[in-house]
């Protein structure tokens, strides 16, 4: 009986030990690895895929063990891991975690996708722009850039789509992230119809010579002929000295009159020329010319790109456009090729603004400049010969307003320089101004008031004009 009791006790102990072992084994097998900050597990299998922003620091988190909701003390298990994550390069990376807990080894993997989720930074210098009604050209110079955190400068990939009243700028980086910005367009009002006299007004005719009637033009505000009949009345007797009037009438809508003066001499012709613009003061110059119905010649540059649109306005008003220089840097005199490159770039701008190239130009500093000597000996002579061979015509001047001498003359001095010296010119007077200067802009109207009162003719330079040339000194 005693032996039977001992056997039963032994069997009970063994069963208890087996139960404890089974409980322990089950308990261990119920342990789940997890990444605490992600709060994710897969019933003991923690194979995760996470996204990581490119160029941002990758902070790896340790894997922990949990039994139910209870976190197991880290001192009871050991974690080793393999793999690296390069956040400077887009791609997929893998880190494996090996966890040793009691008799059990658990392996889990985390896949890290290094991705670019940041859209490029698109910057535009304006929120809205003005568009010329006639030329359809935008008046402001729009400057934009696109910088991506991963691709770098991708400005060249910016696309521009024109909507009914806006410009839509878009840029997409290599990862498909897109930025878009809109620039509103303000359309100018349609200008009113224009009725103007062709040629000089007043017109001076030498007695006993032929009077050539130039007529008048009636156009819409953009210079397009409307097609209405212009009735001309009045006569000029060139055998009798005196003042005559020619009237132009458009179907009763408007009438304008030309004064024709028949005299024993014809006053000299004045060619107003403006260099270095267009700029901030060019509009004021144009307004003064409009007031006196005088046409001038503008030797243009691109020194002030935001005013480039004024080249088109000068042209549309009937003024002559010539090339001066793209940047007005003296490096154009480094070589013939340097000059030609500068000239051609500027002439392309002229074509873009006016629809055609120009065949007249003025040297920076004039053909008689000496600053070119420090760049290349004989370069102005070389340029003049080559440009002439290519069919271009250059013009200097025989009267300077002095507006660019030294620090530049005052408005009163500019007026004095012109009105007191104009009579000293020969049969024609090519006057040099700079339309970007405020003193010049203020002087033009008083000068025109005086010169028109004296009865001078005004004209623009062209291939048939007198070519005033300075002596080439290099």
Q: How many domains does the chain have?
A: 4
**Single pTM value for the model:** 0.52
Predicted pLDDT of residue 307? 95
pLDDT category at 350 given cuts 50, 70, 90 is very high
**395 neighbors 362 (Cβ within 8 angstroms):** yes
Q: What is the share, in percent, of the chain residues with pLDDT greater than 70?
A: 90
**120 neighbors 146 (Cβ within 8 angstroms):** yes
Asked if 295 and 420 sit in the same domain, the reply is yes
Asked if 324 and 401 sit in the same domain, the reply is yes
In a domain, 468, yes or no: no
Predicted pLDDT of residue 63? 79
Residue 44: which residues within 8 A CB-CB, separation 6 or more?
29, 30, 31, 32, 33, 106
CA dihedral 370, 375, 380, 383 (to 10 degrees): -160
Asked if 295 and 443 sit in the same domain, the reply is yes
pLDDT category at 36 given cuts 50, 70, 90 is very low
In a domain, 13, yes or no: no
Asked if 280 and 198 sit in the same domain, the reply is no
Q: Which two tokens stand for residue 271?
A: 């060619």
Closest CA to 182 of 174, 170, 194: 170
Least confident of 116-125, 168-177, 179-188, 195-204: 195-204
In a domain, 474, yes or no: no
Q: For 53-109, what is each residue's pLDDT tens digit?
A: 999 998 887 778 887 778 888 888 898 889 999 999 999 999 988 888 887 788 888
Asked if 297 and 438 sit in the same domain, the reply is yes
Whether 160 has a pLDDT exceeding 50, the answer reads: yes
Strand order in the sheet with 178-187: 128-131, 178-187, 166-172, 159-162
In a domain, 131, yes or no: yes
What is the span of the domain harbouring residue 148? 121-187
Asked if 96 and 219 sit in the same domain, the reply is no
Asked if 165 and 41 sit in the same domain, the reply is no
In a domain, 18, yes or no: no
In a domain, 14, yes or no: no
Q: What is the 3-state secondary structure (H, E, C) of 15-68?
A: HHHHHHHHHHHHHHHCCEEEECCCCECCCCCCCEEEEEECCCCCCCCCCEEEEC
Least confident of 136-140, 190-194, 241-245, 313-317: 136-140
Mean pLDDT for 5-22 is: 63
Which of 65, 89, 115 is at the close of a domain?
A: 115
Q: What is the mean pLDDT of the chain?
A: 87
In a domain, 203, yes or no: yes
């Amino acid at each position: 009986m005693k032996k039977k009791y001992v056997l039963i006790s032994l069997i009970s102990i063994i069963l208890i030990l087996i139960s404890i072992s089974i409980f322990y084994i089950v308990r261990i097998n119920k342990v789940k690895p997890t990444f605490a900050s992600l709060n994710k597990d897969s019933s003991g299998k923690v194979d995760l895929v996470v996204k990581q922003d490119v160029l941002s620091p990758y902070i790896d988190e340790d894997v922990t063990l949990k039994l139910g909701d209870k976190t197991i003390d880290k001192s009871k298990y050991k974690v080793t891991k393999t793999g690296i994550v390069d956040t400077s390069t887009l791609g997929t990376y893998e880190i494996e975690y090996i966890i040793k807990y009691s008799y059990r080894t658990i392996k889990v993997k985390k896949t890290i996708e290094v991705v670019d989720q940041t859209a490029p930074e698109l910057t535009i210098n304006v929120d809205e722009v003005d568009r010329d009604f006639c030329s359809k050209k935008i008046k402001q110079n729009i400057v934009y850039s696109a910088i991506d955190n991963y691709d770098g400068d991708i400005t060249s990939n910016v696309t521009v789509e024109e909507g009914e009243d806006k410009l839509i700028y878009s840029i997409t980086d290599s990862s498909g992230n897109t930025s878009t910005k809109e620039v509103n367009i303000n359309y100018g009002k349609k200008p009113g119809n224009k009725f103007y006299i062709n040629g000089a007004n007043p017109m001076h005719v030498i007695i006993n010579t032929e009077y050539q009637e130039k007529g008048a033009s009636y156009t819409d505000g953009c210079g397009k002929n409307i097609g209405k009949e212009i009735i001309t009345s009045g006569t000029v007797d060139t055998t009798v000295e005196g003042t005559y009037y020619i009237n132009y009438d458009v179907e009763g809508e408007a009438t304008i009159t030309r004064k024709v003066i028949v005299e024993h001499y014809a006053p000299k012709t004045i060619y107003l020329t403006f260099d270095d613009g267009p700029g901030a003061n060019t509009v004021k110059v144009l307004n003064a010319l409009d007031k006196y119905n005088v046409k001038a010649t503008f030797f243009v540059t691109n020194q002030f790109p935001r005013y480039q649109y004024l080249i088109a306005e000068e042209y549309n008003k009937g003024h002559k456009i010539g090339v001066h220089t793209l940047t007005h840097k003296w490096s154009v005199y480094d070589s013939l090729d340097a000059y030609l490159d500068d000239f051609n770039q500027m002439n392309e701008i002229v074509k873009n603004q006016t629809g055609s190239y120009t065949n007249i130009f003025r040297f920076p500093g004039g053909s008689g400049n000496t600053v070119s000597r420090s760049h290349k000996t004989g370069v102005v002579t070389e340029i003049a010969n080559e440009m002439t061979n290519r069919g271009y015509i250059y013009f200097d001047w025989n009267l300077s307003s002095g507006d660019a001498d030294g620090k530049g003359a005052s408005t009163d001095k500019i007026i004095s320089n012109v009105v007191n010296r104009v009579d000293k010119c020969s049969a024609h007077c090519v006057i040099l101004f700079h339309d970007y200067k405020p003193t010049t802009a203020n002087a033009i109207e008083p000068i025109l008031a005086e010169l028109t009162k004296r009865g001078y003719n005004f004209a623009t330079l062209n291939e048939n004009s007198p070519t005033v040339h300075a002596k080439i000194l290099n």
